[in-house]
Chain A
Amino acid sequence: MSLISALANVHTTGQYGDHEDKNENNLLKISEVKNLLIVQIVQYKNSSVSVKSIDIDGLKLKDEPLRVISNNETRILWNGPKNWFLVSTKKDLLKDIIQNFSETDFAVTELSHSRAVIQIEGPEVKEVLKKGCPFNFNSLEKNNSINSTYNGIAFMVDMLNDSPDKVKVRLFALRSFGESLYHSVTDASLEFGYKSI
């Protein structure tokens, strides 16, 4: 069976918007991130297990708002109290996760095919996000994540890099809303010019 990515019908490479006579390095770069392992981990309310003792790919869960714990391959985003969203390029990590989290204390849900993932990079990323989302992105730092809405579409923002000239974020939306979010984000990016890669 062949896999069709969430944005396969809308994402085409090229340069769009106000890109003429601009240095290509200063343009926004928009891409679809595919082939990620995405897992939601929820600890049951009546569970008394300490998450500090659990190790996933060398990372330990932390129940701290906005906090993303990461290494080169794996990122664990805080999704709510006792609720985490794991994103990894290591597809075989799922076995470890299932072994580490007991069924009686945790609900582990594989969401790899239920999310559309858009990555945006460039100096104007925060301006693009501000156009559709009410969150104050000036306060969002590297390795922070939030859940919010973009033009009414529920989405998650993972801040990979916050240096002003190279801001890099990943946006996660439900797969069925992926195309709508992509249209919203690319529409907001036209003003700055963007390169679709």
Chain B
Amino acid sequence: MLHIKCPYCGMRSQNEFSYGGDATVKRPELNKEVSDQDWDNFVYNRKSPRGKHWELWQHISGCRQWIKVERDTATHEIFNTLKANEEIL
């Protein structure tokens, strides 16, 4: 079973979390012209990397907070977790 360290609650089972997608996607700046390609990239297009990857997860059955998780997509090893408002270094 996968365990994720919630920055608020501590170590918890993956059962309590819900996957929320790529955490590195940034919304195009507001009030600026956005090309169709940039908008498509933001809304639809995702990479599927093998290896370390920052993801969004929600602690849906716990504190209900969104968090960022650095996970290896090949081994499922989890290296780091951050609060949603903390920047990835």
State whether A80 touches B12 (Cβ < 8 A). Answer: no
Interface residues of A in 155-174 (CB under 8 A from B): none
Q: How far is the CB of A68 from chain B (nearest CB, A)?
A: 14
| Secondary structure call for the A interface | strand
Residues of B within 8 A of A81 (CB): 8, 63, 65
State whether B9 touches A66 (Cβ < 8 A). Answer: yes
State whether B8 touches A65 (Cβ < 8 A). Answer: yes
Residues of B within 8 A of A147 (CB): 9, 16, 61-63
Chain A: residues with Cβ within 8 Å of the partner, total of 14
A148 within 8 A of B: yes
A80 to B16, CA, bound (A): 14
Residues of B within 8 A of A146 (CB): 9, 62
State whether A135 touches B64 (Cβ < 8 A). Answer: no
A194 to B68, CA, bound (A): 43
Q: How far is the CB of B41 from chain A (nearest CB, A)?
A: 29
Which A residues form the contact surface with B (CB < 8 A)? 65-66, 79-81, 83, 134-136, 146-149, 154
